[in-house]
Structure 1
Amino acid sequence: MDNDTLERQVSEPDPEMRQVLDDLLARDEDITARAVARLHPRINAASSITRSIERSRMLAQYQERQAEFRRWRGRPGKLSSVAAASALADRDVRIAELESQVALLTASHVAMIRAVGELGGFSKWAQFYESYSGSRDRLAQLGALPEATVDSLPQHRPK
């Protein structure tokens, strides 16, 4: 036995189990001791996993990773196609609602800035946002700042 093989065995007591767990995680199949025992080349019973401290710890780590992945994705594993389509439709409705809210807020923001400008307070507003250039840039990207063309001002001629 060479040093690399010995080192791998010391650091990883059951590489076959890790492979089975990785496969279950990749396929998003429920990770249980029974599922691992069914797929493991040398383990035939779930109790062989649960009675071993190392195997039990490894199983728990992968179960936690799977739970985290499922939370991150926002759905439990193995949804039926009908349930998945329903969840997707619900998200589409929520996205449409949020886009509508952004459009409303953008329009009201533009109207507010125009009103402030008409009252002569635009320079004060701009001065306020001077220290918030990132916010001002983001408002411009959203189209929440009024666009105006400035014509040349008539030159004052002394009489």
Structure 2
Amino acid sequence: ATGRNAYRSVGVALRPDLRDTAERAAAIAAELDLRRRRVTHPAMAVRSRTEDHVPAPLLRFGTDRTDLSVVPPTVTGNTVVSSVNRGSADLVLGGAAVRFTAGYPSLSPVMALTHGVHGLGDTVAVSVTTSPDVLDDAALDRYVELLRASLGGL
């Protein structure tokens, strides 16, 4: 919980029923805040990671037999936002200061539209990944245009 590489996954309703963008953003922010408080609750600290208790060969046995092409009957959501804050701009690569970072979260049968939000210092990079089965080129271009406008024209 105190490391820079902590991972949390939560489902949040995107509230398409709310047409007012400010009201919608407030509802999403409130749900995110509720999820953040829940994962930091002391009762959640008792969680254990599977890999801490299951031998690696057994984990590998299970993952090798998982059919990732099978779509489950229900999913938490198929639009994903992966947010990574790399902290202050103090990274160095090859003797030079790193100016930005980016990432492109992968697609799966249950994650059809993914967004990466990666920050380093004051710089934030936003990425969008999808499949032509979900959004064709024209729809993706329009989506990115709308996303850019909603982020203040970045």
Shorter-chain TM band: under 0.3
Q: Return the structure number with greater strand share.
A: 2
With normalisation by structure 1, the TM-score equals: 0.21
Higher helix proportion, which one? 1
> Normalization by structure 2: what TM-score?
0.22
